[in-house]
Structure 1
Amino acid sequence: MICALPMYPFPEDHLRIFWSTLRQTLQRTGIHDVPLTLDQPDDLLQHWQRNDLLLSQSCGFPVSTLLRGKVQVLGAFHFDVPGCQQSAYSSSLLVRKEDCNKPLAGFRDAVAVCNERHSQSGYHALRSAVAPLAVDGRFFSRVLFSGAHRRSAQMIASGEADIAAIDCVSAFLLRQQEPATFDRLASIDFTSPMPGLPLITSQATPAAAVAQLRQALATCSRMPELTQTLQAMRISGFSALDQEDYRICAAKAEQTARDGLAEW
C-alpha cells in the first residue's frame, strides 16, 4: 500500500509527526499494511489511480472529472486560515502590493498566471471569477502557466505576471516559507468557496477500510497531543465527504464555458 499527502507545503517536521500518529492510529483500527513513510509522487495523476493507494490528497476538479469512478473520496480537512470555513476553501486573488486597491475588474488586459489547467484553485476558480467580466470571450491579455502555486507567487512578485488565484491554504503556508516574495504581494479578494481538497483512496479499498480511514483522519485532526503539529499545519478538523460533494467543481467549469469565456 502507498500513502501520500502531496498537495500542501506543510512544515516537514510536523508532517512527519502527523503521519507517524495517523499511521499508528490506522494500525490500531486493524489496517496493518500501512507504509512507514509517505510517498513523494512525481506523476500525480498516475499516483492517484494506483490500485494500492490507501491514502492521498487530490484536487476537486480532477476528482469530479478525470478521477470520477476511479477513486473513493474520504473527506477533507478543515484549515484555520483566512478563506476557509469548515471543509470549504477558496483561492486568494494575489497581486503586487502597489495594485492592491484595484478591484478584479481593474485587471482587464493584465497578465494572469495559473499553476496548471486541472487545478480547481489556480485555474478554474480564476476562470469562474472573471467569466462575468469577460468581453467577447476574453478578459486577460495573456494567461501563463507556472507549474506550481509557489512559482505563480514568484512570477507576480517579479513582474512576470500581474494576478493569480492561489489556494488559500497554500498561500498561508507559503507566506511563512517565502516572506521575501509574499511581502511584495497582497490579496484583493477570495474566490467563491468550494469543497476542500479531497482525501482519497483507491476504488479497490474495501468499505470497512474506508470507514476506518475516515475515523482515523477525524481522530488525528483533533488529538490534544498533536496540538502543536496541527497548529503548524493549520489543520482544525475533518469532514467525511464523498464524490458527489465534488460534482460542483465540474458543474462550475461547465458554467464558465457556457458563459462564453474562451479556453486559456
Structure 2
Amino acid sequence: MTEQLSLPMYDIDHAATRQLTQAIADLLAQRGLETQIIWPDNLLAHWQDPRLLLSQTCGYPLVSSLPDVKLVGVFHSTAAGCEGACYRSFLVARAQDKTKTLADFHGRRAVCNSADSHSGYNALLYVVAQQSVAFKQVIFSGGHRLSLAALRKGAADLAAIDCVTWALLQRYAPEEQHGLAIIGETPLSPALPLITSTATSDATLAELRSALAALVKDERYRAVCAANLISHFSEVDRHFYHPVQEWEQAAVRLGVAQL
C-alpha cells in the first residue's frame, strides 16, 4: 500500500508548497518510508484515508470530525500574529473601514471560508459572542482567498483570515490584499495540526517526527522552510487542541451558537 503525503492547507505559492512537500518526502525516504505526494480535492476523505502517512488539517475538523487520526505535531510559523506553536486570525475589512473596530460591524455582512474552519469561522464566532456583535448576513466563500475577494468586490464587509495565509499572500500575491486592512485580531489558538492515519504504527510515527525535526534543523532545507514561513516543529497531543472546542462552547454559553 502506497502511503500518501500532502500539505494542502497553505498552498498559496504552489512552487513553495511543492518544494516543502518534496523535502519531507526525501527525509521520509531516508528513513525507509516511501510516499506518494498527492493534491486532494476532498480533504475530509483524504484525512480519513487509511493510506495517509502525513497531512495537515485545521484544528476544528481535528476535534469535530477526526477522532481517530494520530497527531504528529505542529509547525511554528514566522508569520506576524504567530507565537510558538500558536496562531491567530486577523479581522480584515476594506481599507475605507480601517479605523473601525469589531463592534462597528454589528448589523453588517461577514464572509467565512467554511463553517468547519477554526480560523475563518470558529474564531470569529468566539470574538463576536464576547462583544455581542451580530451580522445581518453571513456568506461562505469556500476559501480564505475567496473571502478576501468577496471583501474587495463589496459582497461582504468583514472576514477572519488565518494570519499565516495573510503573511503568505503578502509575500506571494500582495495584489489580493489591495484595498483591504486589518482592523482587529483574535486571541492566539493552537496552530494547524500535522496528522497521520490511525493505522500508522508508533515506530512510524516516531520516524515522522524525526523527519520533521530534521527538516527545520538541517541547513539544506533552511530556504525551503523560510519560503513557507516555517521556523520550528513541535510534538503535541490532542489536549493541545482543547481550546478549539472551548471557544465554541464559550460562544454557546453566551447565547451564540452560530454566526
Separation in structure 1 between the aligned mates of residue 237 and residue 135 of structure 2, nearest angstrom? 35
Please show how residues 251-262 of structure 1 align to structure 2 within 5 Å.
251-262=246-257
Q: Give 1:158 deviation, angstroms.
A: 1.2
Separation in structure 2 between the aligned mates of residue 30 and residue 178 of structure 1, nearest angstrom? 37
Please show how residues 31-46 of structure 1 align to structure 2 within 5 Å.
31=33, 33-35=34-36, 38-46=37-45
Separation in structure 2 between the aligned mates of residue 185 and residue 88 of structure 1, nearest angstrom? 24
Which range moves more in the overlay, 250-259 or 176-185? 176-185
CA distances 1:113-170 after superposition (whole Å, capped 9, x unpaired): 0000000000000000110122xxx611111110100000011111111110010011
- Indicate the SS of the match to 1:221: helix
Q: 1:193 aligns with which of 173, 181, 188?
A: 188
Q: Give 1:246 deviation, angstroms.
A: 1.0
- Indicate the SS of the match to 2:217: coil
- Matched residues, number: 257
Asked if the contact 1:64/1:250 (under 8 Å) is kept, the reply is yes
Separation in structure 2 between the aligned mates of residue 196 and residue 9 of structure 1, nearest angstrom? 16
Q: Give 1:262 deviation, angstroms.
A: 4.2
Q: Give 1:221 deviation, angstroms.
A: 2.0
Q: Give the RMSD, CA atoms, in angstroms.
A: 1.4
Asked if the contact 2:121/2:160 (under 8 Å) is kept, the reply is yes
- Relative to 1, partners in 2 of residues 1:216 and 1:188: Cα closer, same or farther, differing over 3 Å? same
CA distances 1:172-207 after superposition (whole Å, capped 9, x unpaired): 112334323302111112211111000000011000
Q: Is residue 63 of structure 1 aligned with residue 62 of structure 2? A: yes
Q: Percent identity?
A: 39
Asked if the contact 2:145/2:176 (under 8 Å) is kept, the reply is no
Residue 149 of structure 1 aligns with an amino acid whose one-letter code is: H
Asked if the contact 1:9/1:174 (under 8 Å) is kept, the reply is no
TM-score (ref. length: structure 2): 0.95
- Indicate the SS of the match to 2:256: coil
What does residue 74 of structure 2 align with?
76
Q: Give 1:25 deviation, angstroms.
A: 1.4
Which segments of 5 or more consecutive residues in structure 1 lack a partner in the other structure?
none
- Indicate the SS of the match to 2:84: coil
- Indicate the SS of the match to 1:219: helix
Q: 1:210 aligns with which of 205, 213, 226?
A: 205
